[in-house]
Amino acid sequence: MSADEIRTEPKPVFKTASFYHNSKSSVKKRAWKSLKQIISTEKALPWPENVVHYSSINAPPSFKPAEKFSDLSGLPAPYTDPQTRLRFANKEEYATLIGLPMDITAGYLALRGASSIVG
């Protein structure tokens, strides 16, 4: 073998002799998009019917019942007052519930999203 045969190895296909790495583009700061910007961009694009994207993701309903919390303290509430329909965690909270006026009780129910008081 001669020295010319050793030097003339075939170049790999993925390397281009005209490639030039620009270091300025790698230093450029990347702008992050918020979820709201991503969703609005996706809504503007024409999507086929069966494509999954951010605005089409829906969670199925849960099989577990919703956990109930006390209207006064926010602790897990295993009890409900039958007159006011307010939830409470212990007997001290129940004693407080009994002494509340109806407008305060209605306010607590409105905060929770309960519609009416059964009295």
Q: Give pLDDT, residue 53.
A: 67
Query: Which of 50, 114, 44, 32 lies closest to 81, judged by CA?
Result: 114
In a domain, 90, yes or no: yes
Predicted confidence band of residue 7 (pLDDT cuts 50, 70, 90): low
**Within a domain: 58:** no
The reported pTM is: 0.48
CB 68 within 8 A of CB 61: no
Number of domains in the chain: 1
Would you call 69 exposed, middle or buried from its count of C-beta atoms within 10 A (0-12, 13-18, 19+)?
middle
Q: Which domain holds residue 108?
A: 67-119
The answer on pLDDT for 23 being more than 50 is: yes
pLDDT exceeds 80 at position 99: yes
